[in-house]
Structure 1
Amino acid sequence: MASWGMGWFGGGGKKKDGAKDAILGLRSQLEMLSKREKHLQTQIDEQEQIARKYVNSNKNLAKAALRKKKQWDTALEQTQSQVMTLEQQIYSIESANINKETLAAMQKAGVAMKGIHGDLTVDKVDQLMETLRDQHAIAEEIGDAITQGAGQQIDNDELEGELEALQQEELDNKMLRTGPVPVGDEVSRLPAVATGESKSKATRIGSEEEDEEAELRKLQEEMAM
């Protein structure tokens, strides 16, 4: 069995040359038979023409021509049968050679795949994928820890400074809007109209601040979206 495998795949050079030589020999014989087939057909046509020519004037010549025509017909049938046999043999050898080459290619592919896979198994692949998933989870935990640490540093240091700056800015804005506060009798001596105007102005300012606060909240919501 081993010697057969070596002869089929490993030592296929001689068999390949043998198949090639066989096909060449069959094709050469087929070419010769094709020439003979044409020659016999020519003879048949000639004898038929002779028989037609003397069918009425000379029956003996017509019969002789028909007799020869039948002989050529028989030879032609034999030749055509041989041609079909040779063609079938060529087809069979070519098919067998294609099958052999296909099996050889499949064997090479199997060896290549085995070499690629090596010692790799399904269990090893599953183990490798599990290891990758674990490492990915560890990487995510490390990233989360780094991010949380950065957030805590910002909360403890920078946010306090920003909050104080905002408080100071708000205080400055209030002082600019209210102006100096009247003291003592000056308040009682302020005209009633001025007091009403101040109240009206304060109301307008409060309304504007509410509108600004509403617009600010709307903008924050849009930014969040």
Structure 2
Amino acid sequence: MSGFARLFGKGKNGKGKSPSPQEAIQKLRETEEILVKKQEFFEQKIQQEVTTAKKHGTKNKRAALQALKRKKRYEQQLNQIDGTLSTIEFQRESLENATTNTEVLKTMSEAARAMKEAHQHMDIEKVDDLMADITEQQEIAQEISDAISRPVGFGDDIDEDDLLAELEELEQEDLEHELLSVGEEDLPSVPASKVPSVPASRVVEDDDDEMKELASWAS
């Protein structure tokens, strides 16, 4: 059984259990690792043959040419490995993408079934009726709020024109009061203190003195 056959689990008849996508991806990665190691091996061999050819040079052409021939064979095998590795990498990437797409589709399918189950007991007409009821109740609630916030009680039946007329009367009274106040300010002020009173005896004495003075003028 070849290494690739053992790697992919195939028998002599070429038949075997098909690996899962994850198993196939893992085996492809293992194959890549083997090929990379072979690349490194042949690259080392090529470098060794180049060194050998340089060492012999023209002194030992036969040995130098043999080294170059071996280098050519190693390079051919290295080119084959490079091609095989590219194919393996492409196959692994394709399988990984396919696996990812499968998982995405599986998830979307499960989500679709879950959505269908969620909508199974829903009727679009019932939903429309429910939304209509909700809208109606919101309108009623708004009307109730408006009614509660509207002022009630004394003053609702008072005519605004009557209030304006009363305001004009008050302003007229204030104006007349100001005019009267201006007229009173122009009059001289009366002293608040009283004139001192003269005793009666002093008045009699003053009269006697005046009579005596008149009598002397007459004589």
Q: Structure 1 length as normaliser, TM-score? A: 0.54
Distance in 1, Cα, partners of 2:110 & 2:71: 58
Higher RCO (C-alpha 8 Å, min separation 6) = 1
Deviations 1:76-130 (A, max 9, x none): 1111111111111111111111111111111222223333334435544333222
Q: Partner residue of 1:108?
A: 110
Aligned to 1:126: 128
**Cα pair distance change 1:205/1:83, threshold 3 Å:** same
Identical columns (%) = 34
Match of 2:92 in 1: 90
- 1:206 Cα deviation after fit: 8.3
Instruction: Tell me the number of residue pairs that the alignment of Structure 1 and Structure 2 aligns.
Output: 147
Match of 1:68 among 62, 67, 70: 70
The structure that is helix-richer by fraction is: 1
The one-letter code of the counterpart of 1:125 is V
| 1:37-186 equivalence runs, <5 A | 37-120=39-122, 122-141=124-143, 151=152, 154-155=153-154
Secondary structure (helix, strand or coil) at the match of 2:94 reads: helix
Higher Rg of the two aligned structures: 2
Deviation at 1:155, TM superposition (A): 3.9
Q: Distance in 2 between matches of 1:206 and 1:118?
A: 90
For residue 55 of structure 1, report the CA deviation from its aligned partner. 1.9
Instruction: Give, in whole Å, the separation in 2 of the partners of 1:116 and 1:29.
Output: 47
- Give, in whole Å, the separation in 1 of the partners of 2:142 and 2:80: 85
Which residue identity is paired with 2:32?
L
Question: Residue 120 of structure 1 aligns to a residue in which SS?
Answer: coil
The match for 2:27 is 25
Residues 1:21 and 1:137: Cα distance change in structure 2 (over 3 Å): closer
SS in 1 for 2:20: helix
Shift in Å, 1:64: 0.8
RMSD: 3.3
- Residue of structure 1 equivalent to 2:177: 203
- The code of the aligned residue for 1:127 comes to D
Distance 2:140 2:21 in 1: 64
CA-CA distance at 1:142 after TM superposition: 5.3
* Cα distance between partner residues in 1 of 2:67 and 2:146: 108
Cα distance in structure 2, aligned partners of 1:114 and 1:50: 74
Which amino acid in 2 is paired with 1:84?
S
CA pair 143-83 structure 1, distance change in 2 beyond 3 A: closer
